[in-house]
Amino acid sequence: MAEPSAPFPAIEPYEHGLLDTGDGHQLYWELCGNPDGIPVVVVHGGPGAGCTPFQRQLFDPARYRVLLFDQRGCGRSLPHASLDNNTTWHLVADIERLRRMLDVERWLVFGGSWGSTLALAYAQAHPEPVAGLVLRGIFTLRRAELLWYYQEGASWLFPDKWERFLRPIPAEERHDMIAAYRRRLAGPADAGQLEAARAWSLWEGETLTLMPSDVLSAQHGGDAFALAFARIENHYFTHAGWLEPDQLLRNVDRIRHIPAVIVQGRWDVATPMRTAWDLHRAWPEARFHLVPDAGHAVTEPGILAALLAATNGFAADGDFRAVAATA
């Protein structure tokens, strides 16, 4: 299978709107590509990052009907940065709500980073409509994964950036950085909250790629983005995603029959390879694609090539099981 190295041209949605969830949220959604094409839902990362125009370019617009949406509280969804009625299981229900709104029987589910977490949770709760899974930068919200990134582990690789992450937190609170940030992010809006939000957001935005990215730094440093991203991520991580320990790995049997491609960067600091490897060991039927010279971001060339190979292969063959076996 040929592995293209560039995404498809930029496109605009042909339809978009807000979906009222009935419990205080309105979800922004958009449809791109071919209205009669293969349905695919894109599950963005974060949580709290929102969907991006670049994600539209990961699918052949002549062959895919692409649904992108902003999860609760982020992007163009309303209310902005809200933590009320905002849990993993609210988001799982939202994906099903969107599927029913579009009258889609079965679709491809595509998710990276936190999007891989939510895609796995959705597929395990609703396996019937999932025709296939494309997962990148695997994250399952286990305690060890959170401690690696927000307590000690990644800090050894990025001590300069970690120092800035520590700055809003007094020394006596640094033994539990997630809890310390929770006290600043979950409370009333003030200058301290925004300072903490920027520090949290930039810690992630500047550790996603092998080489520095001015684009990611600018995105993660913006006030509106940082506030939603930091508040919602910290909210989810404080509650371990409302998942039981190892839940997504233990429940692989519910989705073992679904063809899947797993793409992981060897030098991913945000979601280290150990988790992807654990998923691969639990689910050997899924195609595991290790990119030897990549970090975390979807824009890393090797990761992008592997993802495009998977989506192009499915569109060409119409049989995701065959694609997953050969990707």
Give the active site residues. 113, 268, 296
> Order of strands across the sheet with 287-291?
15-20, 26-33, 64-69, 38-43, 107-112, 130-136, 260-265, 287-291
Q: At what angle do helices 143-150 and 177-185 cross, to 10 degrees?
A: 80
Q: Which amino acid is at 143?
A: R
Dihedral over Cα of 288, 148, 180, 163: its sign: negative
Q: Where are the beta strands (DSSP E) in 157-291?
A: 260-265, 287-291
Determine which helix (DSSP H) or strand (DSSP E) holds 111, and give its type and residue range: strand 107-112
Distance (Å, whole) CA 121 – CA 119:
5
Helix (H, G, I), strand (E, B) or coil at 172: helix
Upper half-sphere CA count for residue 95 (Cβ side, 13 Å):
29
Distance (Å, whole) CA 228 – CA 79:
10
Backbone angles phi, psi at 307, to 5 degrees: -65, -45
